[in-house]
A and B are shown apart, each in its own frame.
Chain A
Amino acid sequence: MKFMENFKKGTPLLILALLMICPFVFSSPYLLHIFILIFIWSYVTTVWSYMGRFGIISLGHGAFFGIGVYTTALLFNLYNVSPWLGMLAGGLAAATIAVILGYSCFKFGVIGHYFAIATLVLAEIITLVIIALRDTLETGGKLGLTVRSLGTSPLFFQFENKLIFYYLTLALLGLALLIWKKIDDSKVQRALKAVGEDEEAALSLGIDVVKYKTTMFAVSAFMTALGGTAYIQFTMFADPTTCTGVGLSLGIVFKAIIGGMFTLWGPTIGSALIVVLEEYTRLALGSAFVSYSQIIYGLLIIILIRFLPGGLYGTFSDLFRQKRKREVQVLLSGRQAADPYK
């Protein structure tokens, strides 16, 4: 038992160590590229799940991602502001919008799918604003925007070496997972869990529902925008359909759902799966058939929601857990067993 416990605690560190060594084993730039994409999307999906796991489903995180992308890129392109500062500015802009929308929604009791729709509308508004500012702010509208390249310039968050992005995005993902753990141990987790289960009962217990939910929404939005900055500095190109809007928002939610949004590793596994699936179908079918990969992706989502509502990782870890619990119960039959998985 002791060994198992140590093993369980050690697993994340082991995975981390393996991922740190990875680039030296496979030095192919293509694989690095895929890993970086997986890290960025896992990060964003994990951050989304901070809210999703408590039943606050946002369909507007594409908007926050887009705010991160465009704030950084425009500040740099137009005013030569370093993307490191732009990152902060984008995060704060996203958090401000989240506080305004979140506070007014939660204050007036907009929950469940009404909240989902409100955030969906926000995603569409941000996309339209970006398109409408095509000339006044040189966002490039639907054609997209390219970040001025400076070669390698650490002060301006530009690196030609992909390895730096690899470690940077890995660190971001690590941070997101760490904060997840911190939330788990805090009062916020218990308060929000109560809210997720029964909002009115939680309210009657004196939990400041509006404050907790708004805070969580703001944190989630802030961190999503940081992911947007990392993404634009990596790809150096943004357009409204891939970097913001309803499509992206839904993509984040799907990744979380497929992996299972209630578990620490679920969002990461879902994102890895989707990124690999998209890349694989693109390679196998050629980029002319990219829509076929999207069809498969859409069908997969329908099938998964229908048959595995807990997500892949969630469902399988539940099965695993139940099986082991039953074994323990047989062994300890007749005695009151302490829950070994707490």
Chain B
Amino acid sequence: MLILNAVINGLLFGGVLALMAFGMNLMFGVVQIVHLAYGQFIMVGLYLVYLLTVLYHVPLLLSCVLAIIAIALLSVLCYYSVVKPLLKAPPINQLLALAGLWIVLENACLAFFGATYKGVQVVLPVLHVGEIYIAASNLIGFGVGLITLGLLYLFLNKTYTGVAIRAVAQDTEVSGVMGINSRTIYLITFVVGGALAGVTAACFVPVYAVHPHFGSAFTLLAFIIVILGGMGNLIGGFIGAFIIGVVTSIGSTLLNPEIGQIIALLICLLIIILRPQGLLGVRART
């Protein structure tokens, strides 16, 4: 029964993880950049919600929306200041510059908010069906995650901009020949990716209290999921999120939280070595 409980909660948590990984995956697929500061964006989002609701008494939902907008703007700033000048640089330089951004954001939050845990007090009931207990906060996260992913699916498949984004992800040069300005698409991708980080932060509000080292764990988690599903493979990432959600949930229920994470990381390491293209990926022909 304990395991069933863990599986169900893991699956629900997987919905939020899928959303989080989707943003990182989109940026990798389109801009070919590993966004190492992604978890820090989520952290900044959580801090903004805290700042607005607790200190300025803005209603919770409104402050979530404001935080999403702010993170999207932060993402645009990140694109212009860090990513755009390094588009032609070797991948390792891009990775390290974003790691620099990671340090800046983490310490800016530390300087601004201090090292203690900050959280919005939201009391949500725990539902139970028979002997299975489900936290309502997980259920909300799952719901919001699936709805957002559904909207993204429509955006990527039914609108001109969405199709252009997918075209750039497939082949930047040929899409240029078709009259798509890849720089504009990169910018739009960063706006969407940033907004996704914001939505993820909003889903995390009832679950977590935020602290300055909050982001790094989630950057790595998003990373693992993206690798698991294959970099740039959006459906693979979706499935990977649920696998990781369930594995960490079972691991931490039966043993302890660190063991759950270690197992997830070991799976990730094995995937990198044995199937670098990811579970669903196809090896690129060169």
Q: Which positions in A face B, CB cutoff 8 Å? A: 57, 101, 104-105, 108-110, 112-114, 116-118, 120-122, 124-125, 128-129, 131-132, 246-247, 250, 253-254, 257, 289, 291-292, 294-295, 297-302, 305-306, 309
Contact = CB atoms under 8 A, between A and B. Distances in A.
B127 interface: no
Given A108-B274, A121-B272, A128 B100 contact: no
A121 B100 contact: no
A306 B86 contact: yes
B266 interface: yes
B268 A257 contact: no
Contacts of B102: 250, 298
B262 A129 contact: yes
Contacts of A250: 96, 99, 102-103
Nearest to A131: B258
A118 to B, nearest CB: 5
Interface string B208-229: 0000000010001001100100
Nearest to A245: B216
A114 B110 contact: no
Interface in B244-286: 256, 258-259, 261-262, 265-266, 268-269, 272-274, 276
B177 interface: no
Given A121-B268, A132-B262, A295-B108, A105 B96 contact: no
Given A108-B273, A118-B272, A132-B262, A294 B107 contact: yes
B91 A113 contact: yes
Contacts, number: 117
22 contacts: A105-B272, A105-B273, A110-B272, A110-B273, A113-B95, A117-B227, A121-B268, A124-B265, A125-B265, A125-B269, A129-B258, A129-B262, A132-B259, A247-B216, A253-B96, A292-B111, A294-B110, A295-B103, A301-B97, A302-B101, A305-B93, A309-B93
B269 A298 contact: no
Contact of B97 (A112, A129, A306): A306
B273 A301 contact: no
B107 A292 contact: yes
B266 A125 contact: yes
Nearest to A127: B258
Contacts of B220: 120-121, 124, 246
Contacts of B261: 124, 128
Q: Is the interface of A mostly helix, strand, loop or mixed?
A: helix
A186 to B, nearest CB: 25
Which of B102, B274, B276 counts the most chain A CB atoms within 10 A?
A: B276
B100 A110 contact: no
Contacts of B224: 121
Contacts of A299: 100, 104
A165 B182 CA distance: 56
Nearest to B86: A306
A307 B98 CA distance: 15
B264 to A, nearest CB: 10
A114 B272 contact: yes
B55 interface: no
A292 B92 CA distance: 26
A291 B34 CA distance: 25
B93 to A, nearest CB: 5
B274 A289 contact: no
B146 interface: no
A125 to B, nearest CB: 5
A108 B34 CA distance: 22
Contact of A302 (B100, B227, B266, B268): B100
Contacts of B269: 101, 118, 121-122, 125
A298 B266 CA distance: 29
Contacts of A291: 107-108, 110-111
A263 B252 CA distance: 46
B89 interface: yes
Given A108-B273, A302-B82, 16 more contacts: A104-B273, A108-B274, A113-B91, A117-B272, A124-B265, A125-B262, A129-B262, A254-B96, A295-B111, A297-B103, A298-B100, A298-B102, A298-B103, A298-B107, A299-B104, A302-B101
B125 interface: no
Given A57-B92, A108-B274, A113-B91, A305 B97 contact: yes
Top 7 closest A-B pairs, CB basis?
A298-B103, A298-B104, A301-B100, A132-B258, A294-B107, A291-B107, A291-B110
B85 interface: yes
B90 to A, nearest CB: 8
